[in-house]
A and B are shown apart, each in its own frame.
Chain A
């Protein structure tokens, strides 16, 4: 029970801090807001400001819980002294008629029921895959380190963490559930903001319908009651739009400050939300035709987004990390990985996007979740174009939607739902009974027991009402074991892996529940290289089974390279286990004065020169003409043969050997290498694990569903491993030595 109270307190304290910070800014700006607008907008604006404060605390490495508590308490006390109230102290917005009782009843009952459902799920121990994974895993790590650390083995650590910054104080006080409850508060704030906007434009029924369509949407419920960031992003994005409307009405330049701050915060919350900043800038340009307001919005946006870009540029040599690696090349993410990852996010394994609408609204098995069958009415939203507010909503929604096809997961639609929901509401604004019926239909269709009758069972959604787990009547350990996919692996690691040691895994574990670094096979270039090595033990496609041999007339040379001249097709890259130079049948001894270069992926060139058949240099990009491996011998050497030890998992690569002459010009030496069989060492498994150990990793977590899992399980000793622990579907191995 103490944990339950701590979670509530942690979330409540953080939310109060956000609200207090927001009221301070709003009152200073002199924004005239109604009470029903002020509550959600102050919370969201305050969240943006508080996120920057937490960022600074982490950057200064002073993230101790007393510091966090004092900062939050200080903001709250400062606001209280300034007369914080729900009504505000500065300006009161233009009054609007009270909501009529049928609207209150329909909206209140529907939204109330979903609020309780979401509250219980958020309050229960965190079981969501990403919430219990990287979102809170990174927060937990930042709190352990008392600040930011450069993490090069996890691409998620390179993403901006605008919303997660708010999870830091909540987690410090109330652990995982407190963070989820903060996100739940964003869901409430979003619904209140949409409702308030409907009243602002004189269409309260449209506002209520828009609020409920968004709030009761199944994917919003699943995300909004977990420690994700999608619903918070939607709230921030909608707040940007809302503030542009307020500014447009009040024509006070100061009101562009929240527009800019929130536009930057939208980027800090989720990169793909940057488009709302474009909307804000276009809107300001259109309404003012002046540069200064544009600069004000841009400057304020940079205050929020800039620190994240700067951090990434300094640490990862890429302000857009973990994306944009073809432009900002770096050793942390392979270009080909980004390419393949982005392609997978664009399709989610769907051969065609024609079924996507049904998938998003009704089935949800491939894109993980549904927005609800009521959104089949989306085409009717175009009717809202007849209103000025409708045109603005649809334009903003379209801009936010424009990045959706970069990731077609259902939850990536959440940021544009408020706009489309409101537009649907406006389309039927003249018919309150119709909107009432639509709200009831949406609520019923989105209620979990009803929904399970029509969605795909793989669809991500709320499936339980865990009030006993929320109140900790059900022990958290039991609840987590039964409902969290990665929790068993995380506990296994906590119990059996010596403190401070990392664990390598093909698919990861619930990072937020372990203090160990989990190196997941795909999450960085170095992890990918390690996975490539480990998989080499069982996958003969990757093994050094081939040699490409160039023989030519002996020649003196100081520098030689192997040049790749063909264009391969996706996803074929060029791989080299070892590159060896010979004279009269004897290999040139690799001398410390040699200098090795590669293009692309120069950072891993040493893998082709380490004398290990369990490592290989990979181009990290689809093979293209001009790739090379280059060895400068430091002094003139006689060479008559060049051998590349390779796998046979690439075919379209064409190679030639070149030598640099005295004029520093490359000369063609040999082409068309002779293909010879290579000998895969019988100890290749042991060699693979030996390489893993050389890189400081002794522990390996393998799920039964991982490729190669049976090989490890059959004979761990052949790998130099011993089985340390075994769960229902996961095994933990450790090197024997």
Chain B
């Protein structure tokens, strides 16, 4: 049976015993409860932080190197071809003619570099001997090089400022001075092209 005591507490009777919650106890419980809640809320506050790693200033913000390179293994490589690159695809390279040329676009004109990877096959090299290759950007000769050995070749060189306008089409090419005969009734062969384009 439930009874109220003089202090406003509630008493429960059970088998001759009293199970009581007095009003004072309730107040203390409420106080402790509130303190626990407040404490739990406060303890969540973190220690002050140090300044984090500073991001680069806006004018120096280059999160990645821009690349506009056409790899012969790209699914859409042919969409960039302008001339002298065979449409016959292999997994990662293509034969070229005299002046293989691709068209790319760059969002920026800052600190760009011409880049090309190609191969001079041994069999063809025996026929042509050393070859001279001119590297062109927008039909302007960036550089020329003479190759006296067959095998894998890489050429890379900065493009002078003003040669490229950001956001506009750019033609990137390589011109070979000597071609090999190739198979009968087929065009003459230049180089085996792997990738060509511009990078930052």
User: Of the candidates A327, A609, A610, A690, which one forms a contact with B41 in the assembled complex, judged by CB atoms under 8 Å apart?
Assistant: A327
- Least Cβ–Cβ distance between A717 and chain B, in angstroms: 6
Provide the B46-66 mask, 1 if CB < 8 A to any CB of A, else 0: 101111111111100101110
Asked if B79 is at the interface (CB within 8 A of a chain A CB), the reply is no
In whole angstroms, how far apart are the Cα atoms of A690 and B55 in the complex? 10
Asked if B45 is at the interface (CB within 8 A of a chain A CB), the reply is yes
Q: Which of A590-622 contact B (CB under 8 A)?
A: 590-597, 602-603, 605-606, 609-613
Asked if A317 is at the interface (CB within 8 A of a chain B CB), the reply is yes
B58's closest neighbor in chain A, by CB?
A681
Q: A residues within 8 A CB of B12?
A: 289-291
In whole angstroms, how far apart are the Cα atoms of A331 and B49 in the complex? 14
Does B14 lie within 8 Å of A592, measured CB to CB? no
Q: A residues within 8 A CB of B58?
A: 613, 681, 683, 687
Q: A residues within 8 A CB of B14?
A: 290-292
Does A595 lie within 8 Å of B52, measured CB to CB? no
Asked if A583 is at the interface (CB within 8 A of a chain B CB), the reply is no
In whole angstroms, how far apart are the Cα atoms of A736 and B63 in the complex? 10
Does A737 lie within 8 Å of B63, measured CB to CB? yes
Q: B residues within 8 A CB of A313?
A: 40
Q: Which of A303-338 contact B (CB under 8 A)?
A: 313, 317, 327-331
Q: B residues within 8 A CB of A606?
A: 49, 51-52
Asked if B4 is at the interface (CB within 8 A of a chain A CB), the reply is no
Does A610 lie within 8 Å of B61, measured CB to CB? no
Asked if A686 is at the interface (CB within 8 A of a chain B CB), the reply is yes
Does B46 lie within 8 Å of A610, measured CB to CB? no
- Least Cβ–Cβ distance between A587 and chain B, in angstroms: 11
Asked if A448 is at the interface (CB within 8 A of a chain B CB), the reply is no
Q: How many residues of A contact B (CB 8 A)?
A: 41
In whole angstroms, how far apart are the Cα atoms of A683 and B108 in the complex? 11
Asked if A640 is at the interface (CB within 8 A of a chain B CB), the reply is no
B61's closest neighbor in chain A, by CB?
A683
Provide the A264-294 mask, 1 if CB < 8 A to any CB of B, else 0: 0000000000000000000000000111100
In whole angstroms, how far apart are the Cα atoms of A735 and B43 in the complex? 39
- Least Cβ–Cβ distance between A693 and chain B, in angstroms: 7
Q: B residues within 8 A CB of A317?
A: 40, 43-44
Asked if B155 is at the interface (CB within 8 A of a chain A CB), the reply is no
Does B61 lie within 8 Å of A289, measured CB to CB? no
Asked if A155 is at the interface (CB within 8 A of a chain B CB), the reply is no
User: Of the candidates B2, B50, B61, which one forms a contact with A686 in the assembled complex, judged by CB atoms under 8 Å apart?
Assistant: B61
A603's closest neighbor in chain B, by CB?
B46
In whole angstroms, how far apart are the Cα atoms of A182 and B20 in the complex? 45
Does B44 lie within 8 Å of A720, measured CB to CB? no
Does B51 lie within 8 Å of A591, measured CB to CB? yes
B52's closest neighbor in chain A, by CB?
A606
Does A602 lie within 8 Å of B51, measured CB to CB? no
In whole angstroms, how far apart are the Cα atoms of A735 and B64 in the complex? 10
B59's closest neighbor in chain A, by CB?
A681
User: Of the candidates B1, B41, B57, which one forms a contact with A329 in the assembled complex, judged by CB atoms under 8 Å apart?
Assistant: B41
Q: B residues within 8 A CB of A330?
A: 44
Q: B residues within 8 A CB of A291?
A: 12, 14, 19, 21
Q: B residues within 8 A CB of A735?
A: 64
Q: A residues within 8 A CB of B35?
A: none
Q: Which of B5-43 contact A (CB under 8 A)?
A: 12-14, 19, 21, 37, 40-41, 43
Asked if B107 is at the interface (CB within 8 A of a chain A CB), the reply is yes
In whole angstroms, how far apart are the Cα atoms of A327 and B44 in the complex? 10
Q: Which of A628-650 contact B (CB under 8 A)?
A: 632
Which 7 residue pairs of A and B lie closest in terms of their CB atoms, listed nearest first?
A737-B64, A595-B48, A590-B51, A612-B55, A690-B63, A611-B54, A606-B52
B residues lining the A interface (CB < 8 Å):
1-2, 12-14, 19, 21, 37, 40-41, 43-46, 48-58, 61, 63-65, 107
A residues lining the B interface (CB < 8 Å):
289-292, 313, 317, 327-331, 590-597, 602-603, 605-606, 609-613, 632, 681, 683, 686-687, 690, 693, 717-718, 720, 735-737
Q: Supply 13 further A-B pairs (C-beta < 8 A) apart from A289-B2, A592-B51, A595-B49.
A: A290-B19, A327-B37, A328-B40, A593-B50, A594-B51, A602-B49, A610-B53, A611-B54, A681-B61, A683-B61, A690-B61, A737-B63, A737-B65
6 intermolecular pairs with C-beta atoms under 8 Å apart: A289-B12, A328-B40, A329-B41, A591-B51, A681-B58, A737-B63
